[in-house]
Amino acid sequence: MPKAYKLQIKNNDLLQGINSFFQSLLQEKIVDALLLPQETNSRKSILSTLVKDKEQITSANPFVPFLLLNSASLLVKLSKGKTREKIGAVLRSCEIRAAVELIKLKQINPENLILIGVDCLGTYEPAVFKELAQNFSDTAELTRQYLSDAARALPNQLGGKELRLACQTCEYPNPANADITINFIGCDTTREIIIQCSEKFNAVDWSKLGLTPAEDISSWKNASKTCLDTRLQSRDKLFQQVAEQTKNLEGFLKDLENCRHCNNCRKECPICYCQECIFDSRIFEHEHDQYIKWAERKGKVRIPTDTLLFHLTRMNHMAVSCVGCGQCTSACPNGLPIAKYFKTIGFKVQEVFGYQAGRSLEEEVPQSTFKEDEFPHVGEPDKKPH
Amino acid sequence: MADFEPNIIAFVCNWCTYEAADLAGTSRLQYPPNVKLIRLMCSGAVDPIFIIKTLLEGADGVLVGGCHPGSCHYVSGNYKARRRFMILNKVLESVGFDTRRIWIRWIAASEGKLFAQTVTEMVEEIRKLGPNQLKKTWDI
């Protein structure tokens, strides 16, 4: 059972408080290096930094409604080979869930990795966030406004802009499977937030890091449940909308009209880890004759070819581990609503195996295991498969 | 609609279903000529991309044949294949494909009759479904 602590916030300054907490993690050698989001030099954006010197933690901000990329991919790079130093990674729930999948897929080495989860109320698409940030002097001010809006009502309306669809429908506002979690939903973030630490830190004197034991975390639990209920409603609405749109293939094709097969969705997807994707191999270097034959057979053919095949294949390969982070849509230069399909279909595929991506390190990824007795009627269209 | 001749592609495993097809041939069993066999060493070697590609190219039906679960020549190939096909069917049905065009059958080497019967059944069922519209779809 994790132990719950309070972090008292001084001078109503949450960001200063969390900054000091991160500094103390390095100071007290809980971690040797910290991967955390900090403000850019322009002060209008946030990106991930890897820090060893606590003095270089100056503008930590894990609460900002913006996520540049799913940092699980960064953990793949940072944990490669023999790891000597303990890296603490400050991550949102979708990033941790992707990291859990990648650990099971043997892409992240969990030795010497400390996962620090943060509650998330949702983020904005990069272009939307850029626009919003113009109205504030820096991301710190934007974050303060965002959190105070959230405390009063649904946090979807900063500047009248909507959160990313993936965030609105995310079933995991609280991170799980983390060693340390930073929980702020339902807290008065000008006074205190909750920090929970797993049993492996029972020997640590957390008072040195400014934490005091918390007796009652029910306001966090209740507020998180309310947030979750809203999200589930949005998610079920999304599933229904996708089901209606996909009664035949045309619905899906319509949303893919402007796909130019740039593969950005694949590059940003934390789960797509293949060193050489089949679509980059010679199999898809078609010759002049092949294109001409297609044009002849169909009358006309879309160029570039294989766009639908790309999305369907990618779905087949990674849907069992899709955590619904929505980076595929955020990365798409044409803003295609890929995330809504991958999330919905990811959910349905995982349901077939009673599996949830990112739920547990003990649960095997469905494609890496099998049971001898299961699915007796697969591929018999007139019977239910199981 | 004039009766159309379905074009069915079959991915069959070398040790079981391909042998069954061979046995059907040597036993002079009659079955429709609409099936084109592609021999693979194991049903576990069938990458779902083959099935998707086949349908996108306009095949009216896809049949995958393998050893009975528990009797795979490579021990566990068909167990893995079974999970892959569950995923494939769920993905395709969720985007609007007609997954009645994809048949997975476990046919052992001695089951020549079952092979002929399966093909006959499949051709008739696919004939009822009509031609695969993807033959004409150009924006994929």
Q: Which tens digits make up the pLDDT trace of A91-132?
A: 999 999 999 999 999 999 999 999 999 999 999 999 999 999
- pLDDT over 90 at A152, yes or no: no
Residues A273 and A134 in one domain: no
The stretch A343-357 carries a mean pLDDT of 97
- Distance, in Å, from the CA atom of A354 to the CA atom of A147, rounded to the nearest integer, reads 36
Determine if residue A199 is left, alpha or beta; phi over 0 gives left, psi from -120 to 50 gives alpha, anything else beta. alpha
Contact A252 B86 (CB under 8 A): no
> Contact at 8 Å (CB) between B103 and B64?
yes
Lowest mean pLDDT among A73-82, A142-151, A293-302: A142-151
Q: Which residue has the tokens 């499977």?
A: A177
DSSP state of A79: T
Q: Is residue A383 part of a domain?
A: no
Same domain, A10 and A115: yes
Residue B76 at interface with chain A, using a CB cutoff of 8 Å: yes
Average pLDDT over residues A232-248: 96
User: Residue A308's domain spans which residues?
Assistant: 246-368
Asked if the Cβ–Cβ distance from B104 to A379 is below 8 Å, we say: yes
Q: Residue A93: CB partners within 8 Å, gap ≥ 6? A: A117, A119, A120, A170, A172, A173, A174, A175, A176
Verify that A230 and A255 share a domain, yes or no.
no
Last residue of one domain, picked from the residues A205, A234, A263:
A234
User: Could you tell me if A45 and A12 lie in one domain?
Assistant: yes
Angle between helices B77-95 and B48-56 (to 10 degrees): 40
Is the separation of the CB atoms in A342 and A82 below 8 Å? Answer: no
In chain B, the percentage of residues whose pLDDT exceeds 90 is: 95
Backbone phi, psi, residue A167, to 5° = -75, -40
pLDDT in tens, B63-106: 999 999 999 999 999 999 999 999 999 999 999 999 999 999 99
How many angstroms away from the CA of A370 is the closest CA of chain B? 6
What is the pLDDT confidence band of residue A380, given thresholds at 50, 70 and 90?
A: confident
Only one residue has tokens 């890091």, namely: A209
CA dihedral B88, B93, B98, B102 (to 10 degrees): 20
User: Which residues in chain B are contacts of A353 at CB distance < 8 A?
Assistant: 83, 86
Whether B70 sits inside 8 A of A352 (CB atoms) is no
Who contacts B124 (Cβ-Cβ below 8 Å, separation ≥6)? none
What is the residue extent of each domain of chain B? 8-125
Mark whether A92 and A224 lie in a shared domain.
yes
Chain B CA closest to residue A368: B80
Residue from B78, B86, B121, B135 whose CB has the most chain A CBs within 10 Å, to mutate: B86
Confidence check: pLDDT of B1 > 60 = no
Q: Which fold has domain B8-125?
A: Rossmann fold (3.40.50)
- Which A positions 278-317 lie with beta carbon below 8 A of chain B? 278, 297-302, 305, 307-309, 312-313, 315-316
Higher pLDDT, A158 or A98: A98
Contact B92 A374 (CB under 8 A): no
What is the DSSP code string of A143-194?
A: HHHHHHHHHHS-TT-GGGPPPPHHHHT-S-SS--S-SEEEE-TTS-TTTEEE
Residue at A385 is within a domain: no
User: What's the number of domains chain A is made of?
Assistant: 2
